[in-house]
Chains A and B, each alone.
Chain A
Amino acid sequence: MTKHALGRRTLLRGFAHGSAVALGLAPLEAMFNGSGTAHADGTPLPRRFGVWFFGNGIHPWRWTPPTTGANWQPSEQLMPLAAPEIKRYVSVATGLEMKTDRGPHKGGTAGILTGANQGTVAPLAPSIDWLVSEQIGGLTRFRSLELGTHVSNPGVSGIFANAISYSGPNRANYPELDPRKVFARLFGNSLDPRLGLRRSLLDAVVRDAASLRQTLGAGDRARLDQHLDSVRLIEKRLAALPVAGVCANPGALTSTIANEDVTSVLSHLTEVNQVMSQVLARVIACDMTRVFTYLFTNAAAHNPYPEIGLYGSFHERYCHDEPDPQPNTNRGIIYAMERLADTCKALAAIPEGAGTLLDNCGIMATSCVSYGKTHSVTEWPALIIGRAGGALKGGVHYRSTSNENAARVPLTVARAAGAKLATFGVGNGLVADGIAAVEA
């Protein structure tokens, strides 16, 4: 039996019994107070921030819902997100425009994620998740997590489109693409008897580096400081390992879905996305991080979608070369929205407090362009998913009639998740206001 076949069977069993079972994990205990509004120890339920990204844009005429306000009527491309268990969480913002410099794909990615122009090679500013994690990332073991399912050239350095999180210029945080490795990293460390010694050692490494620090110029000193900060974060993580309960020892990940070979992953992308989404939901439920990014496909991704019979480069052969009205490109976009719906369903399947994880998440779903064929920057694709602990309404379609700046979307979601940002972006991308219509 191949790994693949085993994975499929495991997942099918999972679908029948709920998402936690798909991972072969113990269900989460009831951890909440009587009214379900806080943890049993009285701490309020955390709010989380996420970005879900797909490459190559949308068809605005098939994307924009025909009605605005609450209970928006589903459009063709947003139909997957109208599933009953998630639609109440999904707000749509349309009629927005990307105001930063409009270099194709990369410029749009930089614009929506950093609010700034794209540099010649790499983004010039930190991305929104990084800014949010500066404020709310310090409370959890991981400041933020970067996850994903497919990038065009995994492991090749210098390809900034392979990341959607940047801590600054030339500083990409590349996503982890193999759900098994993510699971092992997050849940596998608890049993090392040397934890205390490792912390002491890391502390020694940091102290010892002081002599080096004094000899460096300002630029290299900042790079050294970033290294030492990262080492201190490991120290903190080791100290914060849960010692009891299912989050300390959740059992083994029984799904054998791997994501190792770029040529084979695409033939079971649906399953990889499903398992990664369930690992994400578990990570969120265990409060290991409150900030995540999820790179479904990268900007201008050249991947085929063999599962739906699209065998050429999606960017080249479909988005650019397929004549209007692009029926096959449309299928690829709908496929991506189905996968987004799978991620949302995995989060909505885990109860938290009186609701589900999605009640306490704010997630921006977006892409690198609007209409891919012309690299259009008006009618920017933007979804605002989750209720962020009550800060977002959920289930609303807001349509701008004045081509408002699309960078309002990340600002809205960041604030809803608890980040105090007066503004976001620089230059033409700068915004100071969120989108009031989706805020509660």
Chain B
Amino acid sequence: MRNHLAFLLAAVSASGASCGGLILPPAEPEVSVGEPEPDSAAPPSPPAAFAPGPIGMYRLTDVQYRNSIKDLLGSDLDVRFELPLDGQRLGFTAIGAASISVQGRDAEQYETAALNAARQVFATDARRTKLAGCMPAGPTDVACARRIIETLGRRVWRRPLRAGERDLFTTQAVDAARALGDFWAGVELAIAGMLQSPKFLFRAEIGEPDPGRPDRLRYTNHEIAARLSYALWNTTPDDALLDAADRGQLIASDGVATQVARLVASPRFRTTLVAHFQERFGLEQLKVLAKSTKIFPAAASSTLRASMAEESRRFIEAVVTSETLDDRDLLDDRQTFVNAELAKLYGLPAPVGTGFALYQHPANGPRRGLLGQAGVLAVHALLDATSPTLRGKFVRERLLCQEIPPPPASVNTSFPPDPPNVRRTRRQALEEHRKNPACAGCHTLMDPVGYGLENFDGIGAYRTTDNGLPIDPGGELDGRPFGNAGELAAALRDHPDLGRCTVRELYRQLLGHEETEGELPLLLSLEKGGRRLAPLVARIISSDGFRYAQKGQP
């Protein structure tokens, strides 16, 4: 236990550390005594030393905004608005959301989107009748306007409106309706206003005193409703959550448990959990990934990037919904999904029919799990070449939660040019580069991991030569040698840091902040209860870390 804690503390405070093996956790053999633990969704009893993390104010992410608009105003709305870019911190937009604001062009984009969404609803007879709940007696029917603002406003701002709020936006609606001679045009503007309010665009959590625990805050009923909904469904709370909050049921652990069970059982949770791993593996970059079509002619296909993304999405979904698979299988499973385009890239027979089909890679083959999939391999590579360094850095930092500092200042990061008449592989050039002691510390951690993936080029196609020379895909990972990508996957499966990293990354993303020292005991206790991912998320969400906050506001 002491070793665990020491590692977590080191990870929290290691920014700016230098490479020299210090970052690596103490070697610790995988403990496997008897049967594996049964998976449990029940929260661990909070360890005595636990203290909750900071309270926050989170700007809705791009996905959250679009989902919320559809769930509030109509699933058939066209929500392809231009929105401000998300902030990403520690690899997750959910964490970046706690530090960004609305600046410059952002507010304009939100205004345009809000006007657009409200127009789609209130200029359409069927849509507005469904939402409104009353029919206006005339353009300035105050009672009907107030009713719409009150009911829709509660859903938009995720809590009942105060009288002053209700009256202000009712007045806006009626004044605009009078000026435009149209009741619905007035309501349309008022709702567009509520959608531009920080009360919609931010989840500003305030908390309230926790009776009997003056040392901490608890989240309010309506804050819990929104926390649950955005963490598990990435959208605004539905009526069942808001009703439970209105009834005061969400400050009690059984009320939360009931809602967690309901939310986790939905396909919307599956989408959210898949999105976590898409972000952790960098797959969102596929949307805009540029590749040199001169070097990789296959990259000229306008559908290739979407095919890559879809393979990984299906694969992650299969793992997270399985009754038996867990984070180890994300890296080491042989099944995948290919369409004709990917089959060609991988050198496989094309699947029957159009679309994707399940495919099982051979047991001794190089392709295993996400590191054998073109999308992950292409994202962690250069425009026109592979990069063992980038791939190794990704494995260390995002899969094992080990930190690699940036290159030291004022260093020549170029490779020494090849001597005349000498050809080298990327690996050989990198090994030359590592003779420079200023580079060796960190590159020794990164490059050898990446060598294991050198059989996959910059878009994930299999190759046996590099620069005309045979590729050596052997390397080692924290003392365990591997001969190729398949063995690298097996080494990652068994790596003692993998499971801990999965817990940490999920905890950070679901709670929207970097874990504090007081939360470390809770993170350790969350490792107990099995490794399957959906129950792990349920444990995190049901834990005290999700329901309580430290006093004092950022």
| A interface residue numbers (CB < 8 A to B) | 101-104, 107, 120-121, 143-144, 146, 152-158, 167, 170-171, 173-174, 176, 181, 185, 193-194, 196-198, 200-202, 204-205, 207-209, 211-212, 215-220, 222-224, 226-228, 230-231, 233-234, 262-263, 266, 302-304, 306, 311-313, 316-317, 320-321, 323, 373-375, 377
Contact = CB atoms under 8 A, between A and B. Distances in A.
Contacts of A143: 104
Interface stretch (B230-238, B309-317, B366-374, B378-386): B378-386
A234 B105 contact: no
A215 B204 CA distance: 9
A155 to B, nearest CB: 5
Nearest to B201: A227
A101 B411 CA distance: 12
B421 interface: no
A220 B553 contact: yes
A156 B284 CA distance: 8
Given A311-B294, A316-B384, A201 B189 contact: yes
Nearest to B286: A156
A181 B285 CA distance: 23
Given A103-B406, A204-B168, A227-B101, A311 B111 contact: no
A200 B172 contact: yes
B86 A157 contact: yes
B411 to A, nearest CB: 7
B176 A312 contact: no
Given A226-B102, A230-B106, A321 B193 contact: no
Contacts of B199: 208-209, 212
B410 A185 contact: no
Given A153-B288, A311-B294, A320-B413, A204 B93 contact: no
B89 A158 contact: yes
Task: For the complex of A and B, list the 7 residue pairs with the smallest distance between their C-beta atoms, beginning with the closest.
Answer: A217-B553, A158-B88, A230-B107, A311-B294, A157-B86, A227-B102, A223-B101
A204 B193 contact: yes
Contacts of A227: 101-103, 107, 198, 201-202
Identify the interface centre among A120, A156, A202: most chain B CB within 10 Å of its CB. Answer: A156
B294 A374 contact: no
A212 B406 contact: no
B197 A197 contact: no
B175 A173 contact: no
Contacts of A181: 82
Contacts of B552: 217
Interface string B38-81: 00000000000000000011000000000000000000000000
Nearest to A237: B108
B57 A304 contact: no
A262 B102 contact: no
B288 A375 contact: no
Given A197-B180, A312-B292, A167 B104 contact: yes
B335 interface: no
B104 A173 contact: yes
A156 B103 CA distance: 18
Given A311-B295, A316-B383, A323-B417, 6 more contacts: A153-B290, A158-B86, A201-B196, A209-B198, A222-B101, A306-B294
Given A154-B288, A200-B175, A204-B193, A171 B414 contact: no
Contact of B189 (A194, A215, A218, A228): A194
B467 interface: no
A144 to B, nearest CB: 8
B206 interface: yes
A205 B115 CA distance: 14
Contacts of B108: 185, 234
B96 A120 contact: no
A204 B196 CA distance: 11
27 contacts: A102-B410, A104-B409, A143-B104, A146-B104, A146-B105, A156-B288, A157-B93, A158-B96, A173-B104, A197-B176, A200-B172, A204-B193, A205-B193, A205-B197, A207-B168, A211-B162, A218-B553, A227-B101, A227-B107, A230-B102, A231-B102, A231-B196, A233-B107, A263-B291, A312-B384, A316-B384, A321-B415
A197 B189 contact: yes
Given A156-B284, A167-B103, A205-B197, A317 B384 contact: yes
Nearest to A209: B198
Nearest to B207: A215
B350 to A, nearest CB: 25
Given A120-B406, A220-B204, A311 B292 contact: yes
Contacts of B287: 155-156
A263 B295 CA distance: 13
Interface of B is mostly: loop
Given A194-B189, A226-B101, A313-B384, A157 B411 contact: no
B120 interface: no
A173 B175 CA distance: 35
B179 A197 contact: yes
A211 B407 CA distance: 47
A171 B197 contact: no
Contacts of A266: 290
A98 B413 CA distance: 18
Identify the interface centre among A193, A198, A373: most chain B CB within 10 Å of its CB. Answer: A198
B188 to A, nearest CB: 10
B465 interface: no
B246 interface: no
Given A146-B104, A377-B410, A157 B96 contact: yes
Contacts, number: 212
B496 interface: no
B464 interface: no
Contacts of A224: 57, 101, 198, 202, 204
Contact of A263 (B86, B290, B553): B290
Nearest to B85: A157
B292 A223 contact: no
B193 A201 contact: yes
Contacts of B266: none
Nearest to A192: B115
B554 A217 contact: yes
A33 to B, nearest CB: 34
Given A103-B406, A234-B111, A223 B415 contact: no
A375 B299 CA distance: 31
Contacts of A218: 553-554
A170 B553 contact: no
Identify the interface centre among A143, A194, A198, A208: most chain B CB within 10 Å of its CB. Answer: A208
Contact of B384 (A171, A174, A311, A320): A311
B306 interface: no
Contacts of A155: 85, 287-288
Given A107-B409, A185-B108, A375-B412, A228 B88 contact: no
B196 A153 contact: no
Interface string B95-137: 0100111111111100100010000000000000000000000
A228 B415 CA distance: 49
Identify the interface centre among B16, B169, B410: most chain A CB within 10 Å of its CB. Answer: B410
B536 interface: no
B383 A104 contact: no
Contacts of A170: 87, 89, 99-100
B342 interface: no
Contacts of B204: 212, 215-216, 220, 224
Contacts of B292: 304, 311-313
Contacts of A197: 175-176, 179-180, 189
Contacts of B190: 201
B87 A158 contact: yes
Contacts of A234: 107-108, 111
Interface in B363-422: 382-385, 406-407, 409-415, 417
Contact of A373 (B288, B414, B554): B414
Contacts of A209: 197-199
B322 interface: no
A1 B29 CA distance: 65
